[in-house]
Amino acid sequence: MTTSDRKRSANRANAARSTGPRTQAGKTRASRNALRHGLNLPLPLDEYGEELSALTERLQGGIPAKAADAKQAAIAQLQLERVRRIKALVLLEGAERAREADVASAAGSDAGDEISLALADRLARLLTLDGYERKALSRRKKAFRALYS
């Protein structure tokens, strides 16, 4: 038996033993393994139902034929607002940490305010969130165009 054959059968044996979580709680937990912020998922309608209905109504402007387009535009708008709120939270966390650590005064007045420090500290996360904001804006643009047409 070659090494690769041995490896292959060991892999198969291990895979057969590992069948993932068995309890419902475990399965639910595992289903969220790849979830970090859920920004790629559809808007949770149970959470946003009321806001969604109100915004849809306003965008629809009383024209029944526009109901579906208005709903798509409202969903896209709420997704956009969700990304912006997360960005603000990232900054807020960073600013609070900077304030607790008193980084600004330790570094001198030239270090800038807490938000500048938070921004410098969280550039990678903010750039990632920028990508989501761009996608949300693009979805909304399409929805607005449909609404206007």
Partner 1 sequence: MADSPPPWRLPLSPEGYIPEDIRKTMMDGFLTSFEDFEAYEKLVLMIVEDVQPCGQIEWLWVKDVTDSTWDIFRARRAKAACLAMGRKDAIRALKKAYDGDRLTVSIATLEEGEDEVDDIFMSLEPGSGPNEYDGGGLHSFPIMLERFGLTENSLQDIAYNNNLPKMEAFDRLIDNATARRDSVLREVDRRREVGRRMRQAVQAVDEAIDAEFE
- Least gap, CB of 47 to partner 1 (angstroms): 14
- Least gap, CB of 15 to partner 1 (angstroms): 41
b/e map 108-120, b = 16+ CB within 10 Å? eeeebebeebbbe
**Which CB sits closer to partner 1, 48 or 112?**
112
**Which CB sits closer to partner 1, 43 or 117?**
117
**Which CB sits closer to partner 1, 14 or 149?**
149
Residues found near partner 1 in the complex (CB under 8 A): 54-55, 58-59, 61, 77, 81, 84-85, 88, 91-92, 95-96, 99, 107-108, 110-120, 123-124, 126-127, 130, 133-134, 137, 141, 144, 147-148
- Least gap, CB of 9 to partner 1 (angstroms): 46
**Which CB sits closer to partner 1, 8 or 145?**
145
Provide the token pair at 44.
């949770």
In angstroms, the CA 20 to CA 18 distance is: 6
**Which CB sits closer to partner 1, 30 or 54?**
54
In angstroms, the CA 25 to CA 72 distance is: 33
CB 104 within 8 A of CB 111: yes
Q: Which stretches of the chain are DSSP H helices?
A: 3-17, 24-31, 45-60, 67-101, 103-107, 114-121, 123-148
CB 92 within 8 A of CB 100: no
- Least gap, CB of 29 to partner 1 (angstroms): 29
- Least gap, CB of 125 to partner 1 (angstroms): 11
